[in-house]
Each structure stands twice: as structure tokens, then as C-alpha cells.
Amino acid sequence: MGKFSIKSYSNLTINEFKGLLRESNKSNVRLIANFLRLPLFFSDCKLHMRVFKLFGGHFSPIGGYLENEEMVLVHDVNKKFGSWFVPTERFFESCNTIDVLNNTYRGIIKLTILDQ
């Protein structure tokens, strides 16, 4: 089995978030995002935020980052959603939310393959 490192990132600034997303384009790096679906798929999220945020976050791998277009490719593990692009700032807002069950920020897990 190969060697790898795992690190989690949360409560990032938008620039730190973008820097991490850039790494998703490296062949030895994999990113998994923990995000709240509400800001991504529901237009009137502020009205329902108190109710829906109790349902927790969602984990999916990030397939890549189109820096010039400011778009993130998410490979949703829910087959109903499939893979989709989302504007970087909007995805940042969904990852930079607090998980009310443990009072911590959602974020990104980075897996780096060390011996490629």
C-alpha cells in the first residue's frame, strides 16, 4: 500500500479556499468537501436556514477547479445529482458553514499520495 497524508481544512478565507482548490488539479492530490446543500440548491435559503441546517452536511469529492472560470467540479456521491459545476464563491459559502451537531466549520479533506 502506498504512503499518503490526510489533512482537514476548515474556517478558511476565500483566498485560502481557492488555493486549496488549485491543488485538486494535481495528479497526487484528492479533495473531499463537506458542504451544506442548502446554499447551492435552494434559492430562498435564508428563510429556511434555521430548519434545514439541522439536517447536516454532505461529503463529495472535488473533481477539479477551473480557476479562470471560477468554477468547481463536484462529483456528487448522490447519483440523483451526478457531477456538476458550481461557482467558486457559492461553493465556498456552502463549505464555510457550521455543523450544528458538533459546532465546527465544515470544510475540505485533502488526501496527498506521497509515493507516486
User: Domain locations in the chain?
Assistant: 4-113
Answer whether 6's CB lies under 8 Å from 110's CB: yes
Q: Is the CA virtual torsion 18, 20, 11, 73 positive or negative? A: positive
Answer whether 75's CB lies under 8 Å from 60's CB: yes
Query: pLDDT (tens digit, 9 = 90+) per residue, 3-24?
Result: 999 999 999 999 999 999 999 9
For range 104-112, the mean pLDDT: 94
Decide: pTM greater than 0.95. no
- CATH number for the region 4-113 comes to 3.90.70.30
Report the alpha-carbon distance of residue 73 to residue 85 in Å, rounded.
5
Count of CB atoms situated within 10 Å of the CB of 89:
12
**Window from 13-17, 18-22, 29-33, 112-116 with minimum mean pLDDT:** 112-116
The residue type of 33 is A
The residue type of 80 is K
User: Per-residue confidence at 116, pLDDT binned at 50, 70, 90?
Assistant: low
pLDDT at 37: 77
